[in-house]
Structure 1
Amino acid sequence: MKASLNIFFNDLKNLSKNWVAAILIGGLILLPSLYAWFNIEASWDPYGQTDQIPIGIVNEDEGAIVREQEIHIGEDLVNTLQDNKSMDWQFVNREKALDKLEYGDYFAVIIIPENFSERLGTVISDQPEKADIEYYVNEKVNAIAPKITEKGASVIVEQISSNFISTVNGIIFDVFNDIGIELEENLPDIEKFEDYIFLLEEKLPEIHEILDETIVDAGQADNLIHKAQGLIPRVEEATGSGLQTIDNTTEFLQDAEDRLNEIAPRINEDLAKIQSMLSQTNEFVSNTDSTTIDLTDGSQISDALNGQIDDTLQSIDTIEDALVQLQEQNNANKEQSNEQENNSLEEPNSNQDTINNTLSELESIEQNLRELQEQANAIDSFIEDKQTEVDGLLSGMKERTETVNEQVDAFVKEYKETIEPTVKEEVASAKETLADARSILEEIQSTIPDVENMLSRTDDNLSAGKETLEHVSGEFPYVNDKVNELAERVRNIQGETDINEIIQLLQNDPEAERGFFAEPVVLNENKIFSIPNYGTGMTPFYTVLAIWVGGLLLISLLSTDIHKTEAYTGRQIYFGRLLTFMSIGFFQTLIVTLGNIFLLQVEVKEPFWFVLFGLLCSSIFIIIVYTLVSVFGDVGKALAIILLVLQIAGSGGTYPVVLLPKFFQVINPFLPFTYAIDLMREAVGGIVWDRVFHDVLFILLFGLLALVLGVFLKEAINKSTNKLKQKSKESGLFH
């Protein structure tokens, strides 16, 4: 680093001793500023000088008569333009105007045709015609002037349109005012008529829908009546069959009741016999004592007990047989009832459940008796073994006989109090239900003739009504169209607002309405980061461009190498001479940025940062162009110039990037100008620090890449390019 500083200080010493070199360096420092200042001043406010652009105006309008009033809109337009100073209007005839336009004295010519007023007057006719204005422009004279003159022509058209609209609307609103007064006087009748029309229009779809539905219902009712008439014979047949079924079921129930009355005495007799035998058995077992029993006579006791139990079991079987017969009778009645279930008769089955429960209880008693019999038979096998077991058996027999006796007593009580009365009650209820059903069917059978007569009368009335409805439906489209047409006419008068609002609108001040329609919309402009003029807006671009041009001037006149290269390495020479270039570049930047602020009076929002950002851009640009020439020699100069050309077109300094060709949109992010111009714009218009950090980061990245190229690749590339330099010098054309 010390060697590089020695090179830098030697350059300063040589510069101070050589006045010619000092003058040249001074010129190099000042020239880039002149480049920026002249361009910024030239573009300071170009659109503020449009009054110097000559435009020919030719008025050939012959005027017209509208409603017995003579109008000359072309002449009115000429009078208006004579007071307008936005352009240098030249009022001449057609021939002179076109000659001067072709020669280039006029930038554009506007011709008002002879039928201009006449066509504008057709606005009150059934077929209005648009008026034309002829516009001629010489685009060869200048690239920007046609755009400016086109704007002037547009202003004329807009002004004519605005005046025409305000005038026509003024007349229209005068008429509207008279109409509003007349409408206000007749408002009550109008409102009442409107209500009638709109109500009828509103109900038309509903009326049509009801008509269609009624016709459909009439057709369906007619089909239903015919179907009902066809079902009458089947109803008569069904009621007759139902009566026959009820009679058969009643007969079955009577048979069941007779059978029950027949077997009831037998059941009571058998139950009494069972109670008696069980009582004797219980008494016999209770009186038997194991201490008095002669075990040798055990078989006699067992035989006697078995005989009593057998008689009891036989009586239980008799009762079961009787209950089974009664159950079979009930099942037969139930099957007969199920075959006629269409008659909606349902026979109760609670008596069936009662019989089933009774049979279950008898089976339980029978089971206990058989277990008692098995215990009695077991006495013989135990007699020879143990006396104690005999005692246990006798005790068990006592308990069993007592249990059986209690069950039989309970069953007898249940049978007499519940089973027999319930069965008889259910049979009686079923007979009563069948009697009611028979009464209902007889009543239905008696009303069938009346139903037949009613269906016949309804069928005749529906046929006549259906014909009337179809006739009304056929006439409905005509009525619908007429009502809608009348409602639409009312709506055209009323519009989408209340008629009171229409009257109020029609009675508005015609002069106020004319002024409104002449300029219905006023643009309220709000500027963010406002730029006072075009020159200020172009300052960032021309300043950055001047800094780059300053670098190009340095590499064109100053050498990147030193004469005594043997004492220093290539890297030391690179940094030593780079400091010299950057020092001159700093002075160039200070002059151009401070001159913009104080000499041209450019309104810079952040002057300090404007100068500081300029110095940053200068250092990076000097590093880039110096490195290109230091590494590549004359080829590097060409590369720096090519890069300048690409950046002028593709950096977005003049036109937005989105308006540029696709190629320049692609390379835009890879150009140093892109970020340098944006950085300078932040200082001129107002800083957004996120954008500043983004731009500074990329600018530093470009400088870093250039330093890497100069530090690490300079010596290697110079070895390859020295031969090319020597060869080019031999031509005598290059230094």
Structure 2
Amino acid sequence: MLNIFRIFISDFKRIKTNVVAVVIVIGLSILPCLYAWFNILSNWSPYGPDATSNIKVAVASDDKGITIDDTEFNMGETVIEGLEANTTIGWVFTDTTEEAIDGVYSGDYYAALIMPEDFTEDMVSFLADEMEHPEITYYTNEKKNAIAPKITDKAKTAVQQTVNTQFISTLIKSCMQVSDGLIDSSVLEEETGSSNVIDMLIGKLEEADADLAVYENLLDSLMSVSGNAASTTNQFSAVYPDMKSAITSGQSAMGNLQNVTGTGLASLGTISKGLSATFGGISNALGSIAKALDTSNGNLSQLSATLASANISLSGTKDAITDMRGVIGGRLERLNQMKGEEGYEILSKLLAHDPEEIGSFMASPVEIETEAVYEVDTYGSSMAPFYTVLALWVGGLILVAIIHTKVEMEPFFKNAKPHQQFFGRYITFFLIAQVQALITVLGDLYFIGIECAHPFLFWLAASCCSFVFGFLMYALTAAFGNIGEGIAIIIMVIQVAGAGCTFPIETLPKVFQVFYQFQPFKYAMGAMKEAVAGMYRDDYWKDLAILLSYTVISLIVGLVLAVPFRKLNHILEESKEKSGVML
């Protein structure tokens, strides 16, 4: 143990008395943190609006639009107006489609959205016999950048969803406004006392049926007295005033029913079809009879003559009323049936809402509420564990490349054994590596300002990383020389490619998923992520325990495998010196 500390003290004195050595040690302590900081800053918020708004995407429209009932519609212009208010992408609205497409090929734009001349026409093609899906042509330059197409693809999807949502919303609102015009509940309530269409119709048709039964009886009586004029003149004179008043009232009632059936009931289809016209016909017939009664002034003979000259048929009018009562009976049966149907209940509830509200709901009926678990607001903070771990590995790699692992024997520890030399020199490596970790962590937390739920545990994880990484690379280099340094670089490359740092490990090839389980990066980043985003049970301590277990491998490499390789390393060193070009 004494020889171990003697070797360390000797190293410390030689570094302290050598200005160049001091500068190199300072440089070794700072270089890793710069690697981490620059990478975290460069990835701070690449998917935020401030960053994506710099990605230029061209938009152009050849849409000619259409005209419906003297109203012009141009969905292409509507899309452009909507995108002008969108700041998540750097939209560029070109004068021509050719300019937009050429800009994608030249690299001026990352992508382009082109709306053809029949875009609006195809949007309303469902009104015609043949439906055509409207298309927006999307051009993307995949050569310019590997990630940019993924961002612009999201912009393309957003535009598609915006167009679909706007179209559905407009369509539903239009239908609701038309329905509201056809079935104006306020008008119906004012005129009929009921805001429910079917209830109102049932009530009115029942009243009409009762009135028609009275008029049918009156016409029977009128036909009876008309057929026996000699014996019923006095009888007719007696009932004339009441009959005249009743038929005049019947004319007015039929006119009111005609207005009711014509007020906003087109959407009820066959139920209201023909009712308004039939009520109008009966009203006209009753009006003619009322005029004839008025002209006769109670004289039955004159009434018969007036009816004959006016070609008014009492029996025909009675038959019409009888037929109408049959129609009303059928309509009442259907209305009562409709009233109990679920579809009408849904329609009634829909019509009770505001068209704007229903249109907005139908365009996007489902909303997703996001509950973030272990939320980290910035992408840079999420990537800090990876870049910090990678920086500490690079720091250990630089150490073994600059500082010798082999101990030059001095008189006061010339009898030091190989394992004493190994640990004696490693103390210097350990202390510099810990300084690297401390500077890097302090910069992450207070210079870069990453989000971190547990700063102390973040530093502790970084300290363990520096210890494990540095010890492993020190052992590899002490055992195999330059070959060990090469092995350390290979291990780093494999871990960078397959540590699941940028993309989920599940998306990588199977071979990387297998290696992933044995990589120290996995457990180093796992512990740091726990410290940054939040702890789950004892996962942090499990990751640290597995990470520290790699020191066993380092001990085996540095103390056991190094023995048979010493002679080979000596031969390699002599060969390098003889080459005259290698250190």
Same-fold status (TM-score > 0.5): yes
Unaligned runs of 5+ in 2: 189-194, 204-333
Deviation at 1:605, TM superposition (A): 0.6
- Give 3-state SS (helix, strand or coil) of 1:617's partner: helix
Question: For 1:53-80, what per-residue CA distance to the aligned partner results, in whole angstroms no more than 9, with x for missing partners?
Answer: 1111111000012354320111122222
Distance 1:578 1:188, change over 3 A: same
Deviation at 1:189, TM superposition (A): 7.8
Given candidates 458, 475, 487, the residue that maps to 1:610 is: 458
Aligned to 1:728: 576
Distance 1:185 1:700, change over 3 A: closer
* Matching residue's letter, 1:597: L
| Distance in 1, Cα, partners of 2:175 & 2:340 | 17
* Matching residue's letter, 1:87: I
| Distance in 2, Cα, partners of 1:58 & 1:634 | 60
Distance 1:190 1:534, change over 3 A: farther
Given candidates 101, 109, 126, the residue that maps to 1:106 is: 109
Question: For 1:500-538, what per-residue CA distance to the aligned partner results, in whole angstroms no more than 9, with x for missing partners?
Answer: 443232333212111222332222111111101100000
Aligned to 2:438: 590
| Distance in 1, Cα, partners of 2:486 & 2:69 | 76
Deviation at 1:691, TM superposition (A): 1.1
Question: For 1:9-41, what per-residue CA distance to the aligned partner results, in whole angstroms no more than 9, with x for missing partners?
Answer: 111111110011000110011000000000000
Q: Give yes or no for the alignment of 1:177 onto 2:22.
A: no
Aligned to 2:255: none
Distance 1:494 1:101, change over 3 A: farther
Question: For 1:431-468, what per-residue CA distance to the aligned partner results, in whole angstroms no more than 9, with x for missing partners?
Answer: xxxxxxxxxxxxxxxxxxxxxxxxxxxxxxxxxxxxxx
For 1:365-380, list aligned pairs within 5 A: none
Aligned to 2:53: 51
Aligned to 1:42: 42
| Distance in 1, Cα, partners of 2:92 & 2:336 | 52
Q: Give yes or no for the alignment of 1:622 onto 2:473.
A: no
For 1:250-649, list aligned pairs within 5 A: 497=342, 499-564=344-409, 566-649=414-497
Question: For 1:214-253, what per-residue CA distance to the aligned partner results, in whole angstroms no more than 9, with x for missing partners?
Answer: xxxxxxxxxxxxxxxxxxxxxxxxxxxxxxxxxxxxxxxx
* Matching residue's letter, 2:483: V
Deviation at 1:645, TM superposition (A): 0.1
Given candidates 75, 80, 83, the residue that maps to 1:81 is: 83
Aligned residues: 440
Distance 1:715 1:501, change over 3 A: closer
Aligned to 1:132: 135
Distance 1:185 1:525, change over 3 A: closer
Deviation at 1:606, TM superposition (A): 0.2
Aligned to 1:33: 33
Deviation at 1:701, TM superposition (A): 1.3
| Distance in 2, Cα, partners of 1:492 & 1:8 | 99
Aligned to 2:523: 675
- Give 3-state SS (helix, strand or coil) of 2:487's partner: helix
Conservation of the 8 A alpha-carbon contact between 2:202 and 2:335: no
Deviation at 1:723, TM superposition (A): 1.7
- Give 3-state SS (helix, strand or coil) of 1:670's partner: coil
* Matching residue's letter, 1:115: D
Given candidates 546, 553, 556, the residue that maps to 1:708 is: 556
* Matching residue's letter, 1:37: W
| Distance in 2, Cα, partners of 1:51 & 1:84 | 9
Given candidates 149, 152, 174, the residue that maps to 1:149 is: 152
Unaligned runs of 5+ in 1: 192-488
* Matching residue's letter, 1:8: F
Conservation of the 8 A alpha-carbon contact between 1:570 and 1:714: no
Question: For 1:698-727, what per-residue CA distance to the aligned partner results, in whole angstroms no more than 9, with x for missing partners?
Answer: 112111121122123322321333222222
Conservation of the 8 A alpha-carbon contact between 1:8 and 1:580: yes
| Distance in 2, Cα, partners of 1:580 & 1:64 | 80
| Distance in 1, Cα, partners of 2:373 & 2:407 | 51
| Distance in 2, Cα, partners of 1:86 & 1:94 | 22
| Distance in 2, Cα, partners of 1:494 & 1:87 | 52
- Give 3-state SS (helix, strand or coil) of 2:517's partner: helix
Distance 1:709 1:491, change over 3 A: farther
Distance 1:129 1:493, change over 3 A: farther
Given candidates 500, 504, 507, the residue that maps to 1:659 is: 507
Distance 1:23 1:106, change over 3 A: same
Conservation of the 8 A alpha-carbon contact between 1:111 and 1:134: yes
Conservation of the 8 A alpha-carbon contact between 1:494 and 1:502: no
* Matching residue's letter, 1:107: Y
For 1:244-255, list aligned pairs within 5 A: none
Q: Give yes or no for the alignment of 1:116 onto 2:119.
A: yes
Aligned to 1:69: 71
TM-score of the aligned structures, taking structure 2 as reference length: 0.72
Conservation of the 8 A alpha-carbon contact between 1:570 and 1:715: no
TM-score of the aligned structures, taking structure 1 as reference length: 0.57
Deviation at 1:103, TM superposition (A): 1.2
Deviates more, 1:639-648 or 1:523-532: 523-532
Distance 1:644 1:495, change over 3 A: farther
* Matching residue's letter, 1:15: I
Deviation at 1:541, TM superposition (A): 0.1
Question: For 1:598-646, what per-residue CA distance to the aligned partner results, in whole angstroms no more than 9, with x for missing partners?
Answer: 0001111100110111101110111100000000101000000000000
Distance 1:535 1:4, change over 3 A: same
Aligned to 1:232: none
Conservation of the 8 A alpha-carbon contact between 1:177 and 1:508: no
Distance 1:124 1:648, change over 3 A: same
* Matching residue's letter, 1:71: F
Deviates more, 1:537-546 or 1:697-706: 697-706
| Distance in 2, Cα, partners of 1:76 & 1:672 | 54
Conservation of the 8 A alpha-carbon contact between 2:39 and 2:387: yes
- Give 3-state SS (helix, strand or coil) of 2:91's partner: strand
Conservation of the 8 A alpha-carbon contact between 1:64 and 1:121: no
| Distance in 2, Cα, partners of 1:531 & 1:496 | 52
Aligned to 1:372: none
Conservation of the 8 A alpha-carbon contact between 2:531 and 2:540: no
- Give 3-state SS (helix, strand or coil) of 1:575's partner: helix
Conservation of the 8 A alpha-carbon contact between 1:41 and 1:535: yes
* Matching residue's letter, 1:512: E
Deviation at 1:88, TM superposition (A): 1.7
User: Which of the pair has more CA radius of gyration?
Assistant: 1
Conservation of the 8 A alpha-carbon contact between 1:178 and 1:507: no
Distance 1:712 1:96, change over 3 A: same
Deviates more, 1:28-37 or 1:172-181: 172-181
Q: Give yes or no for the alignment of 1:161 onto 2:164.
A: yes
Question: For 1:539-575, what per-residue CA distance to the aligned partner results, in whole angstroms no more than 9, with x for missing partners?
Answer: 0000000000000000111100122275422111111
| Distance in 2, Cα, partners of 1:529 & 1:686 | 6
Q: Give yes or no for the alignment of 1:16 onto 2:28.
A: no
- Give 3-state SS (helix, strand or coil) of 2:549's partner: helix
| Distance in 2, Cα, partners of 1:187 & 1:118 | 41
- Give 3-state SS (helix, strand or coil) of 2:342's partner: coil
| Distance in 1, Cα, partners of 2:406 & 2:340 | 88
- Give 3-state SS (helix, strand or coil) of 2:92's partner: strand
| Distance in 1, Cα, partners of 2:397 & 2:202 | 86
| Distance in 2, Cα, partners of 1:184 & 1:732 | 103
Question: For 1:285-311, what per-residue CA distance to the aligned partner results, in whole angstroms no more than 9, with x for missing partners?
Answer: xxxxxxxxxxxxxxxxxxxxxxxxxxx
| Distance in 1, Cα, partners of 2:455 & 2:86 | 39
